[in-house]
Every structure is written in C-alpha cells, then in structure tokens.
Amino acid sequence: MFDQLDGVLADLTNRLARAARDRKSPMHTPAVVSGDVDARVMVLRAFDSTAFTLRFHTDTRAPKTAAFAADPRVAVLFYDKGAKIQIRARGTASVLTEAPVTDEAWKNATNFARRCYLGDGPGAASEAPTSGLPAAFEGVEPSDEELVAARPNFAVLTVKLASLDWLYLAHTGHVRAAFDRKADGPWKGRWLSP
C-alpha cells in the first residue's frame, strides 16, 4: 500500500491539510509538546502545505507562551485510529501577538470563541470549579465592544516543521518513514524500521 516515499509524503501532507479544515478529522486535535516537556491537546487551525507550518490559537498568559519564548522547540503528535497512522512532527514554535496572521485569526473567530480570552488566564487558581469566564459571559456571546479587552490575551502559535515521522500500523507489518529538511529546502525521506 505505502511503498514510495513520495506517496507517503503526499499522504502525510493530505492528512495535515484535512486535519486543519475538518473538525471531525481524528488529527484535528493533536498533542503539542513544548521544550519544557509539557504536553497539551490543541486545535489545529491551519496547515500551510507549501511552508509546512501549523497554526494554533493560544492565550498570551498561558505558561506555554513563556516556555516557547525560552525554548522554541516543539513536538506535535497526530494519530488517526481508524487509518492506523501516526504522525510525529518536530519544529520551531513562534508565539505571534501582533502580526497580520494574528489579526486575521482574531477577526475570523466568532465572538463566542473570542470570549475565552476575557476571563482568568490559563492555570489561574480558583476555590471552586470554574470556566474562568466572567459570570456575565457564562453561556452568553459578548458583543464586539465587550471583547476589546480580550484581544491582548490572544495569540497565534505557529510551528515551522523541520522533521516528520510517519508510521502506518498494519497486521501484515508496520511501515515507517521519516522526512527532514533544512530551512525551506526539499524534504528528504528515508525508510525506517518501525
């Protein structure tokens, strides 16, 4: 089934593209690991198949933003149980607070989604279970004016991919390939033992 490196790279690219645009894709919510070895599940918002960059949204107050500023190394783990395909990706993270891509992402988000950036910052302590949102916005969509205070808390996390590891699990024998590239050069693939 997968016997050509070009075919594997095309499959990998197609899966990441689908994961970014299809909320039902099993790869839509990968695990993202920062250089401080902390992992979290995040929603993949975009994948640029030319530059091989991933885009996520984050809160500027989240501990991961400081972690990526101190050490931009990042790993992202995708898994599609039905297809039995795992993609491990590594690269460099950037947290963008004031950039055209950030402004565009903010503009395209719904007010209901943007309200998440109104409340307490991620990890803020609480005496009781909490969404962190101000009480006035629990289950309520704020107006554009009410969201002005939220915008400084919003950022885009981009990941520039440098290496990819693709694994296909099959009862007839697993198949694994890895791809690396320097800067924006071409991907160089090789077969690996699973």
Convert the pLDDT of each residue in 48-62 to its tens digit. 999 999 999 999 999
Asked if the structure places residue 25 within a domain, the reply is yes
Q: Which domain covers residue 95, as residue numbers?
A: 5-111+151-192
Asked if the structure places residue 133 within a domain, the reply is no
Asked if the structure places residue 169 within a domain, the reply is yes
DSSP 26-65: TTSS-EEEETTS-EEE----EEETTTTEEEEEEETTSHHH
Asked if the structure places residue 119 within a domain, the reply is no
Convert the pLDDT of each residue in 108-167 to its tens digit. 999 999 999 998 999 999 999 999 999 889 888 999 999 999 999 999 999 999 999 999
Convert the pLDDT of each residue in 53-87 to its tens digit. 999 999 999 999 999 999 999 999 999 999 999 99
Convert the pLDDT of each residue in 91-119 to its tens digit. 999 999 999 999 999 999 999 999 999 98
**What average pLDDT does the structure give for the chain?**
95
pTM higher than 0.85, yes or no?
Answer: yes
Least Cα distance to 31 among 91, 66, 101, 78 occurs for: 78
The whole-number pLDDT of residue 1 equals: 64
Asked if the structure places residue 188 within a domain, the reply is yes
Q: How many domains does the chain have?
A: 1
Least Cα distance to 78 among 53, 46, 42, 38 occurs for: 42
For residue 173, the domain's CATH number is 2.30.110.10
